[in-house]
Amino acid sequence: MRILGLDPGLASLGYGAIALSQSAPDRTPELIDFGIIQTPAKTPIGDRLCTICADLATVIDRVQPDLVALEKLFFYRMGNIILVAQARGVVALVIAQHKLPLIEFTPAQIKQALTGYGNADKTAVQEAVARELNLKAIPKPDDAADALAVALTARLQL
């Protein structure tokens, strides 16, 4: 089974894909791919949304996930929420066009699943990602590491 985790954003949308071994009793995760989809700030919003649409479709075609996991919106600043919500709408559209099942998690659910503490800091979550995937270093950039955390959370829900 392949899981694609997504950390939604307009300027930077993180993605991370893992595969689960069907033969291993603990469904050990294996890293497939991770990265970000970036859109420049001074680009018109319509063009930025088109970039997200096209680039995410390319990621899905390359990774061939069986399930997509998405972090739910959570903001401290209200100024960005509309723009990120628009990007998230495009993400939902691309997932629907590919007829993929979608599961969503709050930031607290992701932190709880990976660290055992719903208010864990970003570093603790990123260290858990590296540990779960047997990586020597925390994946960079942060949005990609966050997307891998979403994918790993979905694995624990199966």
List the chain domain ranges: 2-157
Q: Which of 33, 55, 132, 143 is catalytic?
A: 143
- Cα dist from 43 to 46, 47, 74, 125, whole Å: 8, 7, 24, 32
- For the 2-157 domain, the top CATH level (class) is alpha beta
Look up 7 and say whether it is catalytic: yes
Q: Which of 7, 55, 132, 146 is catalytic?
A: 7
- Round the average pLDDT of the chain to a whole number and report it: 93
Q: What is the pLDDT of residue 77?
A: 59
CA distance 20 to 127: 20
CA distance 121 to 55: 30
Specify whether the CB–CB gap between 53 and 94 falls below 8 A.
yes
Look up 71 and say whether it is catalytic: yes
Look up 142 and say whether it is catalytic: no
Q: Which of 55, 71, 132, 146 is catalytic?
A: 71
Quick check: 76 pLDDT over 60?
A: no
Q: What is the pLDDT of residue 79?
A: 67
Q: What is the pLDDT of residue 49?
A: 98
Quick check: 30 pLDDT over 70?
A: yes
Q: Which residues pair with 70 in a beta bridge?
A: 6, 104
